[in-house]
C-alpha cells in the first residue's frame, strides 16, 4: 500500500498533474508526412480553435472527429499533418495532434510562437462541456509546468489572429473571461 502511494506520487510529479493525452495512434491518426519544425520552448501564446464539425462525448466518437479533422487538413488544406497541437473532446480527454514539440499551422506570424488547442465540435450556439473546458485548462497548466508554455502566456481565439469566426461565439465568450486572455 505504502509503495503504491509512493509510486503514485512519483507518477504525478513526472506528469506535472497533466491530463491524460491520447496519442495519435490511440485515436487512429495517421503519421505526419513531414517532420515539422520544432517549437521553441516556452511559447508565449495559446490559440484556441474549434473544429467546426460534429460534437462528441465519448472516446470513440471524439477519435472519429479527430480523424476527420486530420483528413481535412491533409487532403483539403494540403498540410502534412493535422494542424492543431492538441484537440479536446467533450468526453474530457485530450487528443494529441502535433504535440508540444512541433510547430502547428495557423496564420503567420503565430505558427512558431504558439500552441494551438482545438475543441472538437461547433461552438457558435452552444458552449463546450465543463469537462472539455477543464481538460483544456489542465492541458495549459501542464504545458506551463512542463516548460512548453511561458508562465506569462497569453490566450487568444483564432479570430484574434485571422479572419474567421473560429472558435465560435459561445466558446469565444468563455475564453475572453480567462485571466490570461488578451485580444
Ligand atoms: Zn481555428
Q: How far apart are CA 37 and CA 98, in angstroms?
A: 10
**Rounded distance from Cα 146 to ligand 1 centre (Å):** 25
Length of the chain in terms of residues written: 183
From ligand 1's centre to the CA of 48, what distance in Å? 7
Other C-beta atoms closer than 10 Å to the C-beta of 134 total 14
Task: Give the pLDDT of the chain (183 residues) as one tens digit per residue.
Answer: 555 555 555 554 445 578 999 999 999 999 998 876 788 899 999 999 999 999 999 999 999 999 999 999 999 999 999 999 999 999 999 999 999 988 877 667 788 899 999 999 999 999 999 999 999 999 999 999 999 999 999 999 999 999 999 999 999 999 999 999 999
Distance 8 CA to ligand 1 centre (A): 37
Q: What's the 4 CA to ligand 1 centre distance in angstroms? A: 42
On whether the CB atoms of residues 41 and 149 are closer than 8 A, the answer is no
How would you classify the pairing of strands 94-96 and 114-119? unpaired
pLDDT of amino acid 26: 97
Domains, the chain, ordered by start: 19-175 (3.40.80.10)
Work out the number of other CB atoms within 10 angstroms of the CB of residue 113.
16
CA 129 to chain centre: 15
The CA distance from 99 to 101, in Å, is 6
Give the Å distance between the CA of 118 and the centre of ligand 1: 7
Question: From ligand 1's centre to the CA of 92, what distance in Å?
Answer: 20
Q: How far is the CA of 177 from the centre of ligand 1 (A)?
A: 19
Q: How far is the CA of 51 from the centre of ligand 1 (A)?
A: 7
Amino acid at each position: 500500500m505504502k509503495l503504491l502511494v509512493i509510486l503514485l506520487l512519483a507518477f504525478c510529479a513526472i506528469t506535472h498533474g497533466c491530463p491524460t493525452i491520447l496519442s495519435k495512434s490511440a485515436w487512429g491518426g495517421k503519421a505526419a508526412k513531414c517532420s515539422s519544425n520544432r517549437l521553441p520552448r516556452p511559447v508565449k501564446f495559446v490559440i484556441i480553435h474549434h473544429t467546426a464539425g460534429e460534437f462528441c462525448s465519448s472516446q470513440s466518437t471524439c477519435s472519429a472527429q479527430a480523424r476527420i479533422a486530420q483528413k481535412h487538413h491533409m487532403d483539403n488544406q494540403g498540410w502534412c499533418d493535422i494542424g492543431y497541437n492538441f484537440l479536446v473532446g467533450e468526453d474530457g480527454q485530450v487528443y494529441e495532434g502535433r504535440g508540444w514539440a512541433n510547430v502547428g499551422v495557423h496564420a503567420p506570424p503565430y505558427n512558431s510562437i504558439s500552441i494551438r488547442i482545438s475543441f472538437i465540435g461547433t461552438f457558435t450556439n452552444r458552449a463546450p462541456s465543463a469537462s472539455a473546458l477543464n481538460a483544456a485548462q489542465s492541458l495549459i497548466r501542464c504545458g506551463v509546468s512542463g516548460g512548453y508554455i511561458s508562465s506569462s502566456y497569453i490566450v487568444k481565439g483564432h479570430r484574434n489572429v485571422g479572419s474567421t469566426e473560429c472558435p465560435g461565439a459561445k466558446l469565444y465568450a468563455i475564453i475572453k473571461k480567462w485571466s490570461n486572455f488578451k485580444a
